[in-house]
Amino acid sequence: MISLPLLKRNLAQTWKILLIILAAMTMYTTVIIYMYDPELAHMLNDYQQALPGMMTAVGMTGIAGNLTEFVHIYLYGFIMLVFPVIFLIILGNKLLAHYVDTGSMAVLLSTPNSRIRILVTQLLTLLLETALLIALITAIGIVSCESLFPGELDIPVYLKLNAALLLLHLMLGGIGFLPACIFNDSKWYFFVGAGLLILFFLFQMLGNMGGDLEFFRYLTPFTLFPGEKIVSGQDGAAGSCVIMAVIGAALYGSGVVCFGRKDLPL
């Protein structure tokens, strides 16, 4: 159901992007974990007091009682959300929107591969690379925590946290994937697909501010990420994960149907 040569080509063309995003996430992850040291952690508390609005907007608020909570507060409100989204936007354009916009899809269709087979291959590339990115940064986080603070990270909870993060980004990838399947012009992909992802993140930041702005939290799929529930052991995390999985599957399925039916500029 997929084209292995095309899959290999996709991976060869996008591995540098993956490494760049991973390098940025690794830098922030290792620095934040290093700052768990009580001698340095006060700096982050000082930032919360000096820049309360900004820190609240990016979800970096609260007092951590252990390393797992510390990592969740300072990484999963902004860093672990925004960098994978950037990665998804770039991949969506490179794997699909750009091919259609430039007419290069005609070259792919001239091979003995159906339209759906090509699309499924591009989709599989997106899913594999997103999963690889989250898997690698998860491993890097565990190694960093165990190297600096052995035994202080609750690894099972950390793995659950990142599994939920993966589901979130697979769902968000569907938000970008569907417009790439609908429109023939990459500018509309960026306007609708990338635009929605950016808008949803801005809504998340506004919702984090609370008060009269809290209703924005109900306008963004980022709210489905059950990070706080997982770390605190509350109920409801599994339900949020199921919802994200269902929404993601529906978006990808709709994208495949739309791409299979639309007229391509060949």
Token duo for residue 11: 């991976």
In whole angstroms, what is the distance from residue 111 CA to residue 188 CA?
Answer: 27
Residue 266: inside a domain: no
Total length of the chain: 266
Does residue 67 lie in a domain region? yes
pTM of the model: 0.92
Neighbours of 228 (CB within 10 A): 17
pLDDT at residue 41 greater than cutoff 70? no
* Domain presence at residue 24: yes
Q: Each residue of 58-81: pLDDT tens digit?
A: 666 667 778 999 999 889 988 999
What residues make up the domain containing 19?
A: 4-261
Least confident of 5-19, 20-34, 158-172, 252-266: 252-266
What local confidence, expressed as pLDDT, does residue 230 receive?
A: 95
Closest CA to 148 of 40, 256, 53, 248: 40
Tell me the two tokens of residue 44: 């982050």
For the chain, what is the domain count? 1
Q: Is residue 228 part of a domain?
A: yes
d(CA 82, CA 72) in angstroms, rounded, equals 15
Instruction: Confirm whether 107 is domain-assigned.
Output: yes
Spatial separation of the C-alpha atoms in residues 21 and 44, rounded to whole Å: 24
